Amino acid sequence: MPETKLYDESHKISDKRGNGSLRREVWVDHHGRVARYNLAYINHDLHAGDNGRVVGYDNAHGYHHRHYFGVVEPIDFVGFEDVEERFEQDWTALKGRK
């Protein structure tokens, strides 16, 4: 059965709060479990490579991984909620960085 896109969100972050944008895409399988995801903090002022993705998490290419200033590294996947929490910690730590 095909996956269903549950979330497709993009939020602009004000200059005061750090600039850039947050991207969140989540697909679920027919059981309602997260099958695919893409979480990204994009800020071309901080990082010109990787289409401006400063930090991000996804499970494309058959494995769970983290992007950080152009470096891609595998992560231990505990659950999607854990990935969302790690992503939030990462991008909020970069707030205000120029």
Do 94 and 54 contact (CB within 8 A), yes or no?
Answer: yes
Mean pLDDT of the chain: 93
Other C-beta atoms closer than 10 Å to the C-beta of 41 total: 26
Q: Which of 7, 12, 3 is nearest to 39 (CA)?
A: 7
Question: pLDDT at position 15, please?
Answer: 79
Question: pLDDT at position 98, please?
Answer: 61
pLDDT tens column, 25-39: 999 999 999 999 999
pTM score, two decimals? 0.91
pLDDT tens column, 41-69: 999 989 999 999 999 999 999 999 999 99
pLDDT tens column, 62-90: 999 999 999 999 999 999 999 999 999 99
What is the Cα–Cα distance from 50 to 4, expressed in whole angstroms?
A: 26
